[in-house]
Amino acid sequence: MRFNEKELVSLSRQPSEMAAELGMRGPKKGDVVKKRLVKLVVNFLFYFRTDEEEPIGALLLEQCRVEREDSQSFSITFLDEAERKYLFECDSEEQCGEWMDSIIKASYEFMRKNLIFYRTEIHRLTGKDPLEQYGISDETRFQVSNGLQLAPSATSSL
């Protein structure tokens, strides 16, 4: 499958709050822990060999499960398959917690759910749809839920 590699590499070079050297172990049998520069940019987790400009790889952080493995390490499982479970070793319990939290919150789907929650609540509390002012009320991606509509109010409809 083709993808815009140069642009994605360029994205990986953007400054990020969550960038650190972690121990990283791949999912395959026989994979060992290696020191990698791991960087979270939007909903991608990039990993680099230390001091290299181009990442080795990019993991899309959607539909994945983040779990604590022990006090200082966590794992990310993709496709619900054990063969796609990546392990990350941090330097401290606090760092481990920060990474887990950041990765979960970086997911587009997680953010979308939050958006829908706030939109619904603001509408309930104020009677107004907060997306109307931005002209994006009818965008499919911001709809409340799978076609289900809120009870229409007199002033606006979601």
Partner 1 sequence: MKLHEKILTHYLSCTSPVDKEGYLYKKKERNASYQRRWFVLKANLLFYQERPADRHLQGVIVLEGCAVRRSESDGQFALSLAFEGTGLKTYRFAAVDRQTQESWVKALLSASHCYLSLLVRDLERQYDEAKQQQSSAGSHHRSSVGALKQSPPTSVFLPAPGPAAAVRETRSFSASAVLQAPSTATRVAAKKSPKLWPRRNALVTPLNGPAPSYGEWPLVGFDSLEEFSKLHDYYGQEVRKAREDWLSGRRAREEGDLIDLG
Residues of span 8-47 touching partner 1 by CB under 8 A: 8-12, 14-17, 41-44
Distance CA 93, CA 41 (A): 22
Distance CA 127, CA 154 (A): 8
Distance between terminal CA atoms of the chain?
37
Structure tokens at 134: 């931005």
Shortest reach from residue 35's CB to partner 1, in Å? 18
SS3 at position 140: helix
Told to check if 72 binds partner 1 by CB under 8 A, we report no
Told to check if 94 binds partner 1 by CB under 8 A, we report no
Told to check if 82 binds partner 1 by CB under 8 A, we report no
Burial class for 83, CB neighbours closer than 10 Å (0-12, 13-18, 19+): exposed
Told to check if 96 binds partner 1 by CB under 8 A, we report no
Distance CA 120, CA 117 (A): 5
Torsion on CA atoms 122, 128, 129, 134, rounded to nearest 10: -110
| Stretch 118-157 residues interacting with partner 1 (CB under 8 A) | 118-127, 130, 134-136, 139-142, 144-146, 148, 150-151, 153
| Stretch 52-71 residues interacting with partner 1 (CB under 8 A) | 54-68
Told to check if 90 binds partner 1 by CB under 8 A, we report no
Shortest reach from residue 153's CB to partner 1, in Å? 7
Among the listed residues 95, 102, 137, 156, the single contact to partner 1 using CB under 8 A:
102
Shortest reach from residue 21's CB to partner 1, in Å? 19
